[in-house]
Amino acid sequence: MVFYVTSSTYAKYGLGFFPYILNTPGCDKLTDPYFEPQYPMTTPKNYTRQLLVLVILLLVALLSLSQMCLTRPTLITVADQQMANALKADDDKFLLGPIFGKHMLVLNKVDFTTDFYGFLYRGNTSELIDANVYILGSWATDELDFMRMVTDITNGNETTVLDIGANVGTHSMFISQYAGQVHAIEPWPPILDRLRSFVTENNVSNVTIHPVGYASEEGSMPYHEPKTNNPGTGSFSTSRFPSQTQVIELPLVVGDTHLKANGITGIDLIKIDIEGYEKPALTGLRETINRDRPTVLIELNVTNDEGIKSREELTALFPNDYQYFELLKRSHRRIYPWFGEQSILCRCNEKTYTLTEFDMRFTENGPMVIAAPPEHASAFY
């Protein structure tokens, strides 16, 4: 089919250099009662349907993005894409959104109760830790397994554990099954309420909650409340999260003084994860560390003003003969309760972590560093 289009036709219909095409069934020419045709032009392809489909796809994408923004989706990470696909296929509550390799978005906010290593756990999938507990069955499993191993090589069910930055209580509650006493240090009131409920509802008698923060000097400081869906990102550090402008004044105590006042001695294991305020807290525990020689599991934060930034700053916090390791996650895996206790032990065939000598690089936040006396370190392998 050939249409004849005159240059005057462009002007007549106000289309500039774009031809006015009228494709009417049974009509093989575009006739103009006022102008004679000057040159032929073939029929251009009609893109109307394709444009309509594109508009619909863009609207769907915008709706999906708006839903994600409104629900503040949680990102969880698993071992590989195969596990992610398996979890998505098993998602009977439509919690999981898009999969990006081994990363998945949890879109829906759902209140739930589930089993956490024999304890009743209540949460909501909008929170990072809760989503991991509900979907993967655990949180920071490598750290839990390492802590269990330390209780095995120290005093077993008489081990005393200090959990600084206890958060909702996953570490404290897990290790309470294997230790004698657990002291959970947590100053932020909203998390304190959840921690107390977790302990009380499960009738756990060997976890003692201390509603204070640890520092090198006693007093109070502004606490920068978390703005993310991870309640563990609040901090006393003024530079760790500068955008977190909502603050609350909370009490700080010197660890050595606080432990002595409460008659707490013989610390075997310390876990400390307080978002960049580890150095002041450990400085206030110098007497306890020198006397009791515990293994210390530290989240290393280097970018904030109060962070541990060098070999000299790290080693100054511990006795001279301490050795330093890095805890590496081997995988994130789902814990099925019917597999039994062996599925969570670090000494089983499927370790959730590996240990390597810490290379003393202070370039990024987040690595879990272990400071240990040689009498403990010799039993790590």
Residue ranges of domains in the chain: 1-44, 51-108, 136-377
CATH number of 136-377: 3.40.50.150
Q: Tell me the helices (H) and strands (E) count for the chain, helix number first.
A: 12, 18
Which has the closest alpha carbon to 224: 202, 206, 241? 241
| Nearest one of 289, 355, 297 to 316, comparing CA atoms | 289
Local confidence pLDDT in tens for the 381 residues of the chain: 444 444 444 444 444 434 444 444 444 444 444 444 444 555 555 677 778 878 887 876 666 555 544 445 677 776 667 667 777 677 666 566 666 666 667 767 889 999 999 999 999 988 889 988 988 889 999 999 999 999 999 999 999 999 999 999 999 999 999 999 999 999 999 999 999 999 999 999 999 999 999 999 999 888 877 776 667 677 777 766 566 567 888 999 999 999 999 999 999 999 999 988 899 999 999 999 999 999 999 998 887 888 899 999 999 999 999 999 999 876 444 333 333 332 322 333 456 788 999 989 888 777 899 999 999 999 987
- The Cβ-side half-sphere exposure at 25, using a 13 Å CA radius, reads 0
Which two tokens mark 235?
């901090």
**Contacts of residue 218, Cβ cutoff 8 Å, sequence gap at least 6:** 252, 253, 254, 257
DSSP-assigned beta bridge partners for residue 41: 3
For position 66, what pLDDT does the model report? Answer: 54
Print burial letters for 26-51: b (CB count within 10 Å at least 16), e (below 16).
eeeebeeeeeebeeeeeeeeeeeeee
Instruction: Give the global pTM.
Output: 0.74
> Radius of gyration of the chain from Cα atoms?
31
pLDDT confidence of residue 339: 31
Contacts of 290 (CB under 8 A, 6+ apart): 319
What is the rounded CA–CA span in Å between residue 183 and residue 303?
28
SS (H, E, C) 289-358: HHHHCCEEEEECCCCCCCCCCCHHHHHCCCCCCCEEEEEEECCCCCCCHHHCHHHHCCCCCCCCEEEEEC
Strands 323-329 and 368-372: antiparallel
